[in-house]
Structure 1
Amino acid sequence: MKHILEIFMIFNCSALAGAGKTYSAARWAITKSINEGMKIAFIQSSKRLIDQTFEDIDGVMGKDGAYVPVRRFYGRDGIGIGQSVRKEIMKHLNDTHDDGEIILMTHAAFLGLPYWHKQQLWTLVIDEIPQVDKMWDFKLSQTHYLITDHVAVNEFDPIHYQVSPLSEKVLTDYRRNLHNDEIYEKFKDLSACLLSPHWSVHVRKEQWHRHINGETEHGRHTLSFFSMLEPTIFEGYRDVIVMGAMFEDSLMNLYWSNQGVKFLTHKEISSGVRYQQHDNGELVSFIYLLEDDWSKRVRNLELDGKSLFDWSVEAIKRELRDKPFLWVANNDITDNELFGSNQRLPGVPNGLNEYQHIDHMVFLSALNRNPAHIAYLEAKGLDPEQVKFATGCQTAYQAFMRGSIRDPGNQKAKTCIVPDQRTAEYLARHFRGAKIGPLSGNMKVTKKQPGRKPKADALTNAQKQARKRANKTSEILGKLLHMKERQKSDTKNTIDIGNSGFVFNPTQLRHSWNSYVVNLFDSIYSAVPSFRMRMTNEEVIAEIKATHKTCTDKKTNNLLLSAADFNPDKSPETKRGMANIEYVNGIWLDNDGGDLTPDEFHRFFPDLRMVAFNTYSGGNRWRGFIPCTQIMTVEAHQIIIRSLERVVNQRGYWSDRQADEANRQGRTLLRHGFDTSKFVPSSLFYLPVQAKDGDSFLREWSGREIDPILWVERSIIHEKSEEAQTLEFEDDETTTKEVNSFDLDTVLGQISVKGRPIYQDWIRITWAAIKVAGKNDGIAAMEKNFPQEKGREYPVLASGWQEHKSPGKDFLINMAS
C-alpha cells in the first residue's frame, strides 16, 4: 500500500439530506460533458439511486433539448461483482471514445474493478460516502491455516501486523468462489481486500500468535482482521467529488484527513442545492428513551421479565398512538409487524424518497462496533466518540430525513424518537429551534441561531486536528532521529565509579555504537549515580541475569537502576528530576502484585523481546525490562508507556485507582498491578536479586526490540477530539416557569437526607447538577448539600463532564422521590 506523502486534494459536497445534491450534480455533469467534453462517472450506493439519477439526467436533457451519452452498469452487492458485469465495464472503458459522456455504476462495481483505463480523463462523482472500515471476526481455533497459511504479516504498529497476500491464487479462488463453497464464502470479502492495493488489512498481534501457537483457549479467542480503504483508490483521476450529508462527521473525512488528504468544497455543485441548513427545526420534537448510550447489551437487559427493548416498544406505542410513523431497527429484530402497519425501513435507508408524507420516525438501531474494532479504529487515530457520531447518529439522521422533514414546504409537526440522549442531541444540533427531551418528560427548546455561511475551504476540525497531530509527531520524530545519530557517533566505553560503598563488578563490556548510559544509585535519595556505564541491550540483559543470582538480606542492600541519563546542570531546582533528563533508554516496569502475570502480559505483546523477574519481596510481584532500538526523548517514552497501558486496559486489567473506584460503584475489575508512579522515566528500580522466600524466577522472551520511531510515528495514543458543540436552549416563558419550579438546592437536600448515595450515583448527581445549574452553581450546590465529600473532587468531576452523557433534572427528581 502506498502512503499519501504529499497533499492529496478531493472535492466534496456536504449538502444536507434532501437538499438535492444528486440532482445538482446531474445538471453540472450534463453541462460539463456537453460544453467541455468531460467524461464523468457517478459511483452510487444502490441500483435504486442509479435509476433515479438516470431518470433525472434524462429529464434534464429532455427539458433543455440537450444530449450526452449516458450508460448505467449494475453490479451485485459486496466487494466482488459478477464477472460479466466487470467485463462489461472494463470493455466500455477500453473501447469508449474521448468525447464527453456520463456513466453510472454502484460502489461495489467500482471497488471490484482491477484498473480503470485512461483514468486521467475521468471525473468521479461519489454519491453517498463510502464505508472506509471493515472487520471480520472468525472462530478458527483448528482451521485458521485456511487463511493464515496464505498471508504474510509484517510489523505495522505496536499492536497490529499488516497483512499481505502470500498465495494470491488461493485468495483469488476465495474471492471468486465460483462453486458457491460455504467456507470460501466466509473468506470472500477479506480476500478481495487483501488482493486490492487500496485496502490496508491488519490483524491484532496477540490474536495472530494465539492461533499460530494453539493458545485460543478452546476457541474463546477469535481471529479478527481489520481493513481501511486508503485514499490511493482515487489517485490518478482528473478529479474526484465525494457527496454526502454531514461529510465533516464521516469516518472518510476523519481518517483520510489524518492521511494527508485535503478536502475542498465543490462550489458549483454545492451552490445548486435547495438549502444549506434546516430551517424548519421548530416543527420537530426529538424524544430519547435513555440518558445512557444505547447498545444491544442494554437493549436486551431483562426488567420484570421483559427486555428493555420490549418495554420501549410499548412506551413508543403509547406516545405515538394512532399516528403513522416510519421505524428502523437492527436486522436481528425480525418481526416486521412489531409496530403494526407502520412502515419499516432498511437498516441503511439512504436514497429512499417515497415516504415524505409520513411525519414521524422511530429509530431503534444499535450500531456500535465491537470493542476490538473500536480499539483498532482508535489506533488509527479515530476517537471512539467520533466513531459513534459517524455511525449510529448519522444513520439516525438519514432515517429521519426519509419522512416529511425532507420537504421544506411541509409545516406539520414531526416527532423523532431515538434510543439515547447522545443521538437526540446530535440531531437537535442540526435542527435549531427543535424541542428535545426524554420520553414522557419535559421538553426544552433549542435556540434557533441565525445561519452563517462557512468560510470557503476553511479547515475542518478533523483537518486542524490532523495538522496538529502531524506537527507534534514530526517534532518528536525529529528529536529521535537526532538522538539516533548522536548515539552512533558516541562510542566511548566508560565505567565511572563514584563514592559508593557497594561493590559492583559488571561483565566484560563490548565496544558498540549502540550503547547508552546506565546509571546505578545507592538509594532512592541519591541525586548522583554511584556507577555510570555505557552498555548495550545485550549487556544490560546479561547483567540482569547475572545480578538475579545474587542473594541479599534486604532489598535496600541493593543498587537501583535508572532508565534515564541525567544532567544535574540542566535544571537549577533538581539534579535527578524530569527536567534533568538527557534521554531515556529502554522500558522498565514495576509490578506490585495484581492479577496480571508476566506470561499473560507478554501474550498482549507477543512479538516483543522482554525480560521479567521476581522482586526481593517475591510472591506475585515482578519487574520487567523491554529493550528499545535506540535512546529516546521523555515524550517518546511516555507515548510507549501509555500505549502499553492502553493495551492492558483494553484486555481488561486496570490500575488500583481505577479498580477502587469501580468497587465503590459495585463493580469488580481485574488489577494489572503496575506501580503507575513508576511510569515516569526518572524512576529508580532495584536490580534483580533472589526472592527472600526463595520463590524466584526469570523469564526471557525473544522478539523485536521496541522501535521508538515506529511507536511514535504509528502511535495508538491520540489526543481526544474536540467536544461537540453544546446545545443552547431558549429562555422562553414555558422554559422559565419550568426551571423556576425546580429548585436544585431543595432537590439535592432531599437526596442527601437519605444518606450518602453509592459512588456511581454521586457522580451522576454531580453531573446532573452541573447540567441543570451550570458548572459553578452546580458545584456550589453539591458542596453545600454533600459537605462530607472532599471539595477538590467536584472540580475534577466537572472537568470530565460531557453534556451528551450527563443525566439531568428528571434523574435528580427520581433520586429525590
Structure 2
Amino acid sequence: MENSNLYCCDAPCSAGKTRAIVEQAKHAAADDNQKILIVQPTKELIEKTIEEEVGKPGFPVERFHSDATTKVVANLTQHFRDTHSHGEIVFTTHAAMLRLGHVPMAGRWTVYVDEVPSDYVKIEELRLPELDTRATFFRHFEMRDGLLLPGDGADAHPEKLAKNEKRDAVWKVYQGVASRVVSDHWRVHCEINEEGTLRTTSVLLPSLFKGFGKTVMASANFHEKILVKSWERKEGVTFIPDNSLALRFSSHENCERLTIRYVFDRDGWSKAFRDSCVKVEDENVNVGKFALAAVKQHVGDNPILVMRNKDRAKDFKNWENAIILPGSPHGLNSYTDVDHFAAFSAINPDPAHLKFLNDILGVATEEVHNDMYREVIYQGLFRSNLRIPDSKEPVECLVMDRGTADWLATKLPGCRVEPMDAPVEFADEALGVALAARLKKKRGPQPTGAARSAAERKAAQRARQKAAKQ
C-alpha cells in the first residue's frame, strides 16, 4: 500500500514521549493553525494528559470518549465534518479510533498515536446452531477463501446490520463482527465447525491512517510490536523514522543501579507451569505459590510493585507491602518512590491465536512472547524508581524466568542479571527439596530501618515532582 504518511518514533519508557507529543501539537495548533488528533490508550490517560500537559492554551481542545460524550465515534466523525479553519487539538481513545470509518477532510489532520494499539486482533465466536439462523446470517455475509465478506445478493444488507439502528437484540450479538466486515480497515478471517460455531479473527489494516495528512505512531520498542511487524511483512508498510519529537533521551542510561533477578532457570512463564505441582518431601508444592512465597521472603518488608493475573488475586490479598499494578500500566507515574518490582503475570495467547499470528500475520512465536508478555513487564518495571533517569537509588526487578530477565537486559544496558538466591528448576527434584528447605528456614532480609511509610514515600514523591517542574 502507499503509506508515505506513516511515521514512527521509537521512544524508550520515561523518555517523555507523551509530553513531547503534546508540546509539538500545541506549537502546531497555536502557531500554524494545524489540526491535531492525539490518540491514547484510555480515557483516564487522556484526562491526565489534558490536565498535566495541555493546560489552557489559546485554541480549542476537545475530547471524545465515553465519559465526555455519547455516541463517541459518530460525534467524532461529525466533528471532522464540521471542522473550522483554526488550529485545535482533539483527543480520542484507541478504541474509538479503531472503529472509525470514512473521515471527512482527513487530509487536514495530523495524527499522533500514543502507543501502538494492542487491540489490533479481535477474536469472536458466533453460535449459529440452527439452520434458519445460519441461513439468515449468510444472506447478508458470505465466506470465501477463509474470509468473511459482505454479501452481494439483492436481499443482503450487511451495512444495516452493522449499524443496527433499531437495536435488534439478536443482531446486537453479531454487530461487532458485522461492523468489521463492512469496514475498509479490517480483514475478517473465519472458519465454521460442524456445530455451527463461526470463529472470526479480525485484523486491523493500515488503511485506517491512509487519508490523514501525517500519522506518527510513538511507542517504546516500536519495531518489536506484533502490529508493526505484521504491517511491514504482510501489508508492505515502511514506517518513516520521525526524530522531531523532543525526547529526554533516545536510549536508557544509568541502568547500573538495576538488578534483575529470576526465580526459574527456564525460558518462558505460563499459567500451565504456574498452576502445576511438584512433589517435595511427600508434599505437593504448587509452582506459583512457591514463587510467591520465595519473592515475599526475599523482599521482606520493602514496598514492592506487583503485576499478577486476576485469576490469582486472592493469593496476593494479604501481602501488605504489595502495590498491585493494572494489567496495562501505561501512564502511571505515581509510584516512582518504590524501588522493588515483581512480575508474576503469565500472558500468552491460546494455541489457535498463536497459530494465527504465526501463519497469517507472519510473526514468530518468540516475537509474540516478547511483545505480549515481556513488553508488559518492561512497562510495569518503569512505574518504579527506574522511571527517574538521574536517580541513584538501586532498583530490583524480580521476574519468573531467565528468558525474560535476559530480554530485559538487552533493553537496559549496564544492569545485572542473576538468579534470586538459586535458580529453581523443579525438574531437578533434589534441587527442589533443597530450595524448599531453604525457603522454610531462611528469614529473608533483615529490616534496615530505611523502609518508609506510605505517607513518607508520598511526601518524597511530591518533592521530586515539584523539583522537576522548577
User: Normalising by the residue count of structure 2, what TM-score does the alignment of the two structures yield?
Assistant: 0.80
Match of 2:363 among 367, 372, 382: 382
The CA deviation at 1:350 is 0.8
Contact kept? 2:261, 2:417, Cα under 8 Å: yes
Deviations 1:243-277 (A, max 9, x none): 111101111220111111111221211xx111112
The CA deviation at 1:127 is 0.7
Deviations 1:715-744 (A, max 9, x none): xxxxxxxxxxxxxxxxxxxxxxxxxxxxxx
Please give the alpha-carbon distance, in whole angstroms, between the structure 2 residues aligned to 1:28 and 1:118.
22
Task: Output aligned runs, 1:794-809, within 5 Å.
Answer: none
Contact kept? 1:136, 1:190, Cα under 8 Å: no
Please give the alpha-carbon distance, in whole angstroms, between the structure 2 residues aligned to 1:88 and 1:139.
29
The CA deviation at 1:170 is 6.8
Deviations 1:523-581 (A, max 9, x none): xxxxxxxxxxxxxxxxxxxxxxxxxxxxxxxxxxxxxxxxxxxxxxxxxxxxxxxxxxx
Contact kept? 1:177, 1:184, Cα under 8 Å: no
Q: 1:147 to 1:420 in 2, by over 3 A?
A: farther
The CA deviation at 1:140 is 3.6
Contact kept? 1:293, 1:420, Cα under 8 Å: yes
Please give the alpha-carbon distance, in whole angstroms, between the structure 1 residues aligned to 2:356 and 2:337.
42
The CA deviation at 1:148 is 5.6
Q: Which position in structure 2 is the counterpart of 1:195?
A: 182
Aligned-partner SS, 2:36: strand
Match of 2:101 among 95, 100, 114: 114
Aligned-partner SS, 1:418: strand
Contact kept? 2:5, 2:210, Cα under 8 Å: no
1:152 maps to 2:142: yes
Task: Output aligned runs, 1:570-649, within 5 Å.
Answer: none
- Residue 268 of structure 2 aligns with an amino acid whose one-letter code is D
Task: Output aligned runs, 1:216-615, within 5 Å.
Answer: 223-258=198-233, 259-269=235-245, 272-290=246-264, 291-303=266-278, 304-335=283-314, 337=317, 339-379=319-359, 380-441=361-422
Q: 1:149 to 1:328 in 2, by over 3 A?
A: farther
Identity %: 27
The CA deviation at 1:374 is 1.3
Aligned-partner SS, 1:236: coil
The CA deviation at 1:149 is 6.0
Q: Which position in structure 1 is the counterpart of 2:447?
A: none
1:68 maps to 2:59: yes
Please give the alpha-carbon distance, in whole angstroms, between the structure 2 residues aligned to 1:55 and 1:307.
46
Please give the alpha-carbon distance, in whole angstroms, between the structure 2 residues aligned to 1:58 and 1:170.
40
Q: How many residues are treated as equivalent by the alignment? A: 414
Please give the alpha-carbon distance, in whole angstroms, between the structure 2 residues aligned to 1:121 and 1:431.
39
Contact kept? 1:133, 1:226, Cα under 8 Å: no
Match of 2:81 among 86, 91, 94: 94
The CA deviation at 1:85 is 2.7
Contact kept? 2:126, 2:174, Cα under 8 Å: no
The CA deviation at 1:52 is 2.3
User: Normalising by the residue count of structure 1, what TM-score does the alignment of the two structures yield?
Assistant: 0.47
Q: 1:10 to 1:71 in 2, by over 3 A?
A: same
- Residue 355 of structure 1 aligns with an amino acid whose one-letter code is Y
- Residue 81 of structure 2 aligns with an amino acid whose one-letter code is N
Please give the alpha-carbon distance, in whole angstroms, between the structure 1 residues aligned to 2:320 and 2:172.
36
Contact kept? 1:132, 1:252, Cα under 8 Å: no
Determine which structure has the larger strand proportion and give its number.
2
Structure ranking higher on relative contact order (CA contacts 8 Å, 6+ apart): 2
Deviations 1:578-603 (A, max 9, x none): xxxxxxxxxxxxxxxxxxxxxxxxxx
Aligned-partner SS, 1:439: strand
Contact kept? 1:30, 1:57, Cα under 8 Å: no
The CA deviation at 1:141 is 7.5
Please give the alpha-carbon distance, in whole angstroms, between the structure 2 residues aligned to 1:436 and 1:58.
40
The CA deviation at 1:440 is 1.3
Contact kept? 2:22, 2:54, Cα under 8 Å: no
Contact kept? 2:306, 2:325, Cα under 8 Å: yes
The CA deviation at 1:231 is 0.6
Please give the alpha-carbon distance, in whole angstroms, between the structure 1 residues aligned to 2:173 and 2:260.
40
The CA deviation at 1:390 is 1.3
Match of 2:22 among 21, 26, 50: 26
Deviations 1:675-728 (A, max 9, x none): xxxxxxxxxxxxxxxxxxxxxxxxxxxxxxxxxxxxxxxxxxxxxxxxxxxxxx
Greater Cα radius of gyration, structure 1 or 2: 1
The CA deviation at 1:139 is 7.6
Aligned-partner SS, 1:262: coil
- Residue 284 of structure 2 aligns with an amino acid whose one-letter code is G
Match of 1:126 among 103, 113, 122: 113
Structure 2 unpaired stretches of 5+:
152-156, 436-470
- Residue 252 of structure 2 aligns with an amino acid whose one-letter code is H
Q: 1:118 to 1:141 in 2, by over 3 A?
A: closer
Contact kept? 1:23, 1:56, Cα under 8 Å: no
Contact kept? 2:329, 2:383, Cα under 8 Å: yes
Aligned-partner SS, 1:30: helix
Q: 1:420 to 1:187 in 2, by over 3 A?
A: farther
Q: Which position in structure 2 is the counterpart of 1:715?
A: none
Contact kept? 2:80, 2:106, Cα under 8 Å: no
Please give the alpha-carbon distance, in whole angstroms, between the structure 2 residues aligned to 1:273 and 1:438.
34
Q: Which position in structure 2 is the counterpart of 1:58?
A: 54
Aligned-partner SS, 2:422: coil
